[in-house]
Amino acid sequence: MSGRDSLRLCVSSRLRTCALPAHWLFAVAVLSGGLHSAANAQEQTKAQIEAVRAAALQASMEAHRKDVVPFFETHCVRCHGAKKQEGELSLEKLDPDMTTASAARWATLLEQITTREMPPEGEPQPTPGEIQKVVDWIRSEMKRSGKHLATRKEYANGNRVPHELLFGPGANAPFDAAPGLRRLSHDIYDAFSKDVGKNVNGLGNPFSPAGGTTFLDMGSPKIDEPVTTQLISNALSIVRNQTAWREDKGQLKWVGQREFQPLFEKDAEVTDEQLQTAVTAQFLRVLRRKPTDEELARFLKLMRTNEKAAGRETGFRFALAAVFLLPEAVFRSEIGAGPKDVSGRVRLSPRETAFAINYALSDRLPPAWLLDAASKGDLDSEEQIAAAVRRMMEDPKQQTPRIMRFFREYFGYAAAEDVFKESKENQDHKSNVLVSDTDQLVQYILAQDKEVLRELLTTTKSFVNNRLDPQGKKMEPGDKKKAIHKSYGLPDDWKWTADQPVELPKDERAGILTQPAWLVAFSTTTDNHAILRGKWVRERLLGGVVPDIPITVDAQLPDEPEKTLRERMRVTQGEYCWKCHQLMNRVGLPFEQYDHYGRFRTEELGQPVDATGGFEHTLDPKLQGDVTNPVEFVRKMADSEIVEQVFVRHCFRYWLGRNETPGDANSLQTAHNAYRESGGSMKALIVSLLTSESFLYRVPLARPEQAGLLTPK
Amino acid sequence: MAIQRRDLLKGMTLGAGSLVLSPMLWRMQAQAAGQTVASKRFVFVVESNGVRPEQMAPEGIERKPRRQQPMNGPAETVDVPLIGKKLPFSLEPIQKWIDKVTIVQGLSGRVCGGGHSNNFGALGCFPTAGESQEIRGETIDGALAKMIPGIFPHIGLGISKRLENSVIYNVSAIGPNKGLPTMCRPDQVYSALFGSVADGVAKQEFAAKNNLLDFLKDDVKRVEARLAGPEREQLAAYLETFETLRDRQSRLNEIQHTLRENAPVTNDKYTSAIETDRLDAQFDIGAAALISGLTNVMTISSAAGIRDFDICFTGLGLKKGKHSIGHGGSENGKTWAELYDMIRRYHFDLIAGLIRKLEAVPEGDGTMMDNTVIVYLSDGAEGHHSRCWEWPIVMIGNIGGKLKTGRYIDFPGYGQVDHRTTANFYTTLLQLTGSSRESFGVEDPTLRKFGLDQHGPLQTLFA
C-alpha cells in the first residue's frame, strides 16, 4: 500500500465514525444546554448539532487530505511513514481527528514545522506557502477539536523560531498567547519579604529560577513541596513578628500590627468584627485588596476552629499566615477576563494588567495609584496603559530595578564576580568593582536613552573604579588600593577622577563587550573563554542557535601552557566538533585582544596577538566576512538592523517571561518600529512591549465557560 | 533490556517534583523493592578542597598521587585487608570500626571536568566544565532518596563560609535543574525538623498547622475549579504540595514520641560564627534526625561547592583558608599536607561521633549502624585543582553484611582494563537499595575510546 493510500484510509475511517451513536449525540445535546428545552426542540437541537459537527469534521478531514497529505508525502513519509518511523513517528498512523489522543503529537509537529526543524537540513525544503497550508490546517483542527495548541508552553530556545517568521514578509501566523499562571519570581518574593517581613530574620527564598532559560524569570516552573514548606515557614515567621509583644521597663508593649492587637490581648473576648478587621488588614497588606464576603466568612471560620484546637494565640497566628499562602499571593495571574473579541482574544483583567505592568518593571507590590487606576477603569485603553507605564518609569519615587536587571542578564557581565582568579597573579583585579563600573555605564546610557543598543555596543566611554560613597553623597574610588584602571588600558599613572565617565583609547575599546567585567565573566581562572564569548555573540546578537554540548563530548582543551588559546582550540576543528564550533569560534576569538583580566594586550606568549575573527552563517548577509580586531567586530554588529531585531526579541522574552512564537510577530515588529522611530529609546521599546497584543491579550481555551480568574470577581 | 516491575513502580515517581510522594506510594515502593522502608540508610559527608590520595593508604602501603594522564597506574587491582593495620592519620578516629571501613582509591570521575569544585557533578557524574554550577541530572543522594524515601526523602545539612546563608544549593539534586537544599543554619534546621515537639506550644502548633493545611487544600481546590488548561495544572501541583505536607504531619504525629525522645539539645554552637561549631551542631542534628527515622538519605556538606570551598577553619586555630592551604600554604608549624590531614581528621572525629550514636540504637538484630553506610569524599576529587583522574572515597558500614568491608581497594590506572569510575561506585550504592540500574550519570567518552565497559557496580565491594 502506498503512503497516499494508507493516509486516505486513515481519513476515511475517521469520516465513518462521524456517524455517532444516537445516545452519544443525546449526551452532547444535554451538555450543550438542551436540557431545559422541550422534547421536540431537543430533538431539533440534537439534529442541528449533529449536522454542524459532522460537517465540521468532514470539512477538516477533507482539508487534511487536500493540504496536508501531499505535504507529508513529499517531505516526510520517507522517514516517518509505514516503512520507517524515525522518532517513533508514523505520519500515516497519526490520526487527523484531534479529539483523539493525537493532538499532542500534532502540536510537536507544528512546532517542528514552524521552526523549520523539519524537514531536516539537507532535504528539499517546502515553500512558505506549503508550510502555511499545513500550519493553518493544524490550527483550525485544534480549534475544532477543542485542543489548545498554545498549551505547548514555549520552545526550549527562543532563537529557534526563524527570524523571518517574526520580521520577514512571511510573518503572519495568528496570535496565540495562552493564558497562564506563573509563580512569583525570586526577586519579587525577595522584595515582598523585605516589605512585609521587615525585621524578620531567617526568611528563605524558595523561588529559585527554573534554569535553562535565557532569562531567570521565564517559564512557569511548578511549585513543589520544598517550596511550600519554605513558604509556610516564612509566613509563620512574618506573622510572629506582626503579632509580637516586647518587654519595655517591666511592661509588655505591643510592637505588632495595630489591627491585630485586640486578638492577642489577654483575657478579652475577641469579637467577629475584630477578627474581620484583622483579616481585612492582612488581605490589604499581602494581596492589596479587601477580602470578599465569602472569603471573610471562611477565614472567620478558620479563626474560630483554630482558636478551639490550638488556643487563641497560636490559632490566630496560623490563620493570619494562611493569607500568605493563598494562590493569589503565590502566583501571577495572566488569564484574561471578559468576552472574546472578534479575533478570539480576551484582555487581561484591569487588576491583572496592573500587576503585570508593575512586575514588568518592579519587584514590589503595585503602587496604590496603579491599583486605583485599575479599579476606576483607567487601565482600559492601550493609551492609558502606556501612560501608566511611562509614569512607572519616570516617577523618581518608583523604583524600576527590572530594567537594569535586563541588561545585567542579557550581557551576563555580573558573572565576573563568580569567576575565581588567583590573587597572586594580578593584585589589581577586583571583580565587584569592574561589575559596578559596567553597571554605571549601562545606567549612563539608559539615562541618555538614545540609540541605546548602539551605544552599549560602541561607546568608548567607561566608568573606572568608580562608586558612590556609602553616604550616597559623592563619588569615590571603588577600591582605593588597587590599580583597577590598568584593566581598562589607562596609563599606569592615571589618577582617579570624579569626572566620569572617562574616555578609553578608541582603538582599544568599544562598549560592554570590551569592558573588563564582561571579558572576565566569560573567562576561567586562568584563561579567556573564547568559546563561551562566541556562543554569547552568536545567540544574543546574531540570533543563532548553538546546540547544547552533546553529553558524549569530553569538552576539554589540551593542557599546553606554551600554546595560545587559539592554538589549543584547534581540537574543535574536527569534523564532528566543527558543526557547532563554526558557530562560536570565529565570533569569540576577536576578544583574544584582551587577557583574561580584560587587559588590552599586543603580545601573547612572546608573539603578536592574533585577534582576527569573522562572520559566517549570519541572518544578516551584510555582516559576512573577516574582521581583524574586536573594535571593528563589535562596530560592524552595531550597524546591523537584524542585530537590533535580535535585541528586541530578547527584550520581548525578558518582559513577557516567555519565548517568542510566530504568533508574536506583530508585537515584535511594533516594538522594533517604536524603538527605531524614537531614535533608539529603551523607554519607547518597553512601553511598546507592555502595551502589545502579546502582553495584554490571551487566547483562551475553546470552552471559555470553564476559564476563570485567580481573583474572585 | 526488560524493565522489571519494581523498577517501573519506582520509576513512577521519577518525574519533576518527585519529592512529592504520598505515603501510599512510599509503601508501594518499599514493597516493590521487597523491604521495609527504614532498613537502609546513606549518609554522605562531602568536604571541600579535595582528598589527597597519598594520605589515604593504611600503614605499610605507599601510595603516590597518580600522574594526570591515561595509563597512570597499574593494571591490577590492589585489595588488602585493613584488619590489623593502622589507618592513616586522618582516619584514626574510625580505627575502632576498621572491620566496617572500606577505603576506595583509583576511581576516576573525568567526566566532571575538575576545578576547585565539581559542584553537583561530584555526586552526579556529569560535566561541570569551568566549575559550572549547572545541574545536568540527579545526584546519587537524590537518586537514593527516590529509592528509599523517608518522611523527608532527603535531608541536606552543611556549613557555608558565610554565616548569613541559610539555604544553599551546592552538591545535591533530585533531577536536572532541581537542586536539593543544603540547610546551613543549625538553629533553623532544628526548628524545621524538631520544632514541632520542641516546646510547650508544640501540640497547639501541630494542630493549628493541620487546620492551616486543610484550609489551604480546600482553598486551592476552589480556585483550581475555576481554572482550565495549563494554569489549572499549576494549581494542581500547588495543591499536591499541601496534600503531601498534610500526610507528613500525620506521619510526624505517629512518631511524635520518638521525636521528643531523640531531639538534640540546642546550644551556642547552633548559632556560632565559628565554622567548626556549626558543623558540630549539624552532625548533632543529623544523628538525631536519622535516629528519629526522619530520613534515610542525608548529605552533610562541609563548605562543598565553588562558592564555599575556600572556607577557613578558625575553630581549628587556622587563619589560612583552604584555598591558601591548597596552594601550599603552611601555618602553625604545619605544612600544607599536614593541614589537609588535620582538617580531614576533624571531620572523621565527627563521623566517629555519628557512628557511635547510631551504634547505640538497637535495630533488628543489631544496631542502626548495621543498616547504614557513611560515604566520605570531596567535591574537589583528588586535590585543590582537581582534574578527577582519581577520586578517593572512604566508606563505613556494610548494610546488613551486604558489603565486604575492612578493606583497602585501589583500582587500576585510568584506561586499564579493570579501571572503574565513581559512577560505578554510585551504581553499587543504588543496587544496594534494590535498584537494577546498571549505570549512573554520564559516561566518560575518553574511557569509551579505550574500549572500557563503564556499566555495572563495583562487584568486588559486594559480600
- CA dist A507 and A588 (Å) reads 18
What's the confidence (pLDDT) of residue B36? 46
| More confident site: A156 or A263 | A263
- CA dist B210 and B250 (Å) reads 9
What's the confidence (pLDDT) of residue B248? 79
Is the domain of B390 the same as that of B318?
yes
Q: Which domain holds residue B277?
A: 34-183+267-461
CB contact under 8 A, B205 and A318: yes
Confidence of residue B77 (pLDDT cuts 50, 70, 90): very high
CATH of the domain at B49: 3.40.720
> Which of A394, A357, A437 is CA-nearest to residue A682?
A394
Least confident stretch, A78-92, A264-278, A393-407, A530-544:
A78-92
CB contact under 8 A, A709 and B238: no
- CA dist A407 and A517 (Å) reads 13
Residue A74 backbone dihedrals phi, psi, to 5 degrees: -75, -40
- Outline where A511-572 has alpha helix (H): 516-521, 530-536, 565-568
Helices A682-690 and A641-656: crossing angle in degrees, nearest 10, is: 50
Confidence of residue A86 (pLDDT cuts 50, 70, 90): confident
Interface A-B, measured as beta-carbon pairs within 8 A, has a size of: 184
What's the confidence (pLDDT) of residue A147? 64
Tell me whether B202 touches chain A (CB under 8 Å): no
What's the confidence (pLDDT) of residue A554? 63
Contacts with B73 (C-beta within 8 Å, 6 or more apart), sequence order: B66, B106, B410, B411, B412, B413, B414, B416
What average pLDDT score do residues B108-125 get?
95
pLDDT at A670 over 80: yes
What's the confidence (pLDDT) of residue A552? 59
Least confident stretch, A670-674, B173-177, B210-214:
B173-177
> Which of B381, B392, B383 is CA-nearest to residue B88?
B392
Is the domain of B256 the same as that of B371?
no
Distance from CA of A672 to the nearest CA of B (A): 30
| More confident site: B255 or A269 | A269
Percent of chain A with pLDDT over 70: 90
Confidence of residue A614 (pLDDT cuts 50, 70, 90): very high
Distance from CA of B25 to the nearest CA of A (A): 16
- CA dist A597 and A528 (Å) reads 8
Chain A residues within an 8 Å CB radius of B151:
none
Contacts with A464 (C-beta within 8 Å, 6 or more apart), sequence order: A437, A484, A485, A488, A490, A494, A496, A500, A501, A502
Is the domain of B169 the same as that of B317?
yes
- CA dist B324 and B343 (Å) reads 14
Tell me whether A180 touches chain B (CB under 8 Å): yes
* Number of domains composing chain B: 2
State the DSSP code for A485. Answer: G
Q: Would you call the peptide bond into A550 cis, given omega within 30 degrees of 0 as the criterion? A: no
CB contact under 8 A, B177 and A153: no
- CA dist B351 and B83 (Å) reads 19
Do the beta carbons of residue A488 and residue A464 sit within 8 Å? yes
Do the beta carbons of residue B208 and residue A318 sit within 8 Å? yes
- Residue-averaged pLDDT of chain B: 87
- Outline where A621-664 has alpha helix (H): 630-638, 641-656
Q: Does residue B11 lie in a domain region?
A: no
- Closest residue in chain A to residue B217, using alpha carbons only: A326
Tell me whether A104 touches chain B (CB under 8 Å): no
Q: Does residue B205 lie in a domain region?
A: yes
Q: What kind and span of H or E run contains B444?
A: none
| More confident site: A2 or A643 | A643
Chain B residues within an 8 Å CB radius of A556:
113, 129
Confidence of residue A32 (pLDDT cuts 50, 70, 90): very low
- CA dist A170 and A187 (Å) reads 38
Which residues share a beta bridge with B101?
B396
Which chain B residues in 442-461 lie under 8 Å from chain A, judged by CB atoms? 442-446
Q: Residue B409 in 3-state DSSP? A: strand
What average pLDDT score do residues A328-339 get?
88
Of A64-73, A247-256, A568-577, B280-289, where does the model show the most confidence? Answer: B280-289
Do the beta carbons of residue A183 and residue A221 sit within 8 Å? yes
- Residue-averaged pLDDT of chain A: 87
- CA dist B363 and B367 (Å) reads 5
Is the domain of B359 the same as that of B439?
yes
Do the beta carbons of residue A150 and residue B228 sit within 8 Å? no
Least confident stretch, A382-386, A495-499, B57-61, B148-152:
B148-152
> Which of B297, B188, B293, B282 is CA-nearest to residue B248?
B293
Do the beta carbons of residue B218 and residue B224 sit within 8 Å? no
Q: Does residue B405 lie in a domain region?
A: yes
Of A50-59, A167-176, B425-434, where does the model show the most confidence? Answer: B425-434
Is the domain of B256 the same as that of B369?
no
pLDDT at A66 over 50: yes
What's the confidence (pLDDT) of residue A144? 77
Q: Does residue B4 lie in a domain region?
A: no
Handedness of CA A416, A421, A426, A430 (dihedral sign): positive
Tell me which residue has cell 495571574: A333
What average pLDDT score do residues B410-436 get?
96
Least confident stretch, A447-461, A509-523, A690-704, B271-285:
A690-704
Least confident stretch, A79-83, A195-199, A551-555, B217-221:
A551-555
What average pLDDT score do residues B299-307 get?
95
CB contact under 8 A, B116 and A224: no
Q: Does residue B190 lie in a domain region?
A: no
- Closest residue in chain B to residue A225, using alpha carbons only: B241
Tell me which residue has cell 487527523: A96
What average pLDDT score do residues B80-95 get?
97
Chain A residues within an 8 Å CB radius of B219:
298, 322, 326-327
What's the confidence (pLDDT) of residue A17? 35
Is the domain of B308 the same as that of B251?
no
- CA dist B193 and B202 (Å) reads 12
Chain A residues within an 8 Å CB radius of B188:
202
Residue B213: CA count within 13 A, CB half-sphere: 21
DSSP assignment string, A197-220: TTT-TT--------SSSSSSS-S-
CB contact under 8 A, B241 and A178: no
Domain boundary pick from B217, B244, B262: B262
Do the beta carbons of residue A438 and residue A410 sit within 8 Å? no
- CA dist B371 and B174 (Å) reads 23
| More confident site: A137 or B5 | A137
Percent of chain A with pLDDT over 90: 57
SS (H, E, C) A6-34: HHHHHHHHHHHHCCCCHHHHHHHHHHCCH
Q: Does residue B134 lie in a domain region?
A: yes
Tell me whether B328 touches chain A (CB under 8 Å): no
- CA dist B71 and B84 (Å) reads 32
- CA dist A140 and A66 (Å) reads 14
Chain B residues within an 8 Å CB radius of A324:
none
- CA dist B115 and B95 (Å) reads 32
What average pLDDT score do residues B274-301 get?
96
C-alpha cell at B384: 585543590
What average pLDDT score do residues A134-143 get?
81
Tell me whether B204 touches chain A (CB under 8 Å): yes
CB contact under 8 A, B208 and A310: yes
Contacts with A559 (C-beta within 8 Å, 6 or more apart), sequence order: B68
Is the domain of B350 the same as that of B444?
yes
What's the confidence (pLDDT) of residue A222? 83
Confidence of residue B201 (pLDDT cuts 50, 70, 90): low
Least confident stretch, A503-517, A558-572, B190-204:
B190-204
C-alpha cell at B182: 543544603
Least confident stretch, A198-202, A296-300, B419-423:
A198-202
Tell me whether B219 touches chain A (CB under 8 Å): yes
In this structure, chain A runs to a length of 713
Percent of chain B with pLDDT over 90: 65
Q: Would you call the peptide bond into B230 cis, given omega within 30 degrees of 0 as the criterion? A: no
Q: Residue A507 in 3-state DSSP? A: coil
Is the domain of B124 the same as that of B238?
no
Which chain B residues in 377-436 lie under 8 Å from chain A, judged by CB atoms? none
Contacts with B315 (C-beta within 8 Å, 6 or more apart), sequence order: B274, B275, B276, B277
Is the domain of B289 the same as that of B399?
yes
* CA angle at A157 for the pair A153 and A160, rounded to the nearest 5°: 105
> Domain residues of chain A, as ranges?
3-147, 181-330, 335-400, 405-634
Alpha carbon separation from A174 to A62, A150, A208, A345, A448 (Å, rounded): 22, 11, 33, 11, 37
Domain boundary pick from B214, B244, B262: B262
Q: Does residue B189 lie in a domain region?
A: no
Is the domain of B356 the same as that of B428?
yes
What average pLDDT score do residues A453-477 get?
95
> Which of A162, A136, A147 is CA-nearest to residue A60?
A136
Is the domain of B218 the same as that of B118?
no
Of A55-64, A127-136, A575-584, B67-76, where does the model show the most confidence? Answer: B67-76
Option in A225, A529, A706 nearest B20 (CB): A225
CB contact under 8 A, A554 and B237: no
- Outline where A412-481 has alpha helix (H): 431-448, 452-458
Instruction: Tell me how far the alpha carbon of residue A91 is from its chain's centroid.
Output: 33
Domain boundary pick from B247, B262, B277: B262
What average pLDDT score do residues A295-318 get?
94
Q: What kind and span of H or E run contains B177?
A: none
Which residues share a beta bridge with A182?
A332
| More confident site: B420 or A425 | B420
Q: Does residue B64 lie in a domain region?
A: yes
pLDDT at A701 over 70: no
CB contact under 8 A, A224 and B185: no
Confidence of residue A316 (pLDDT cuts 50, 70, 90): very high
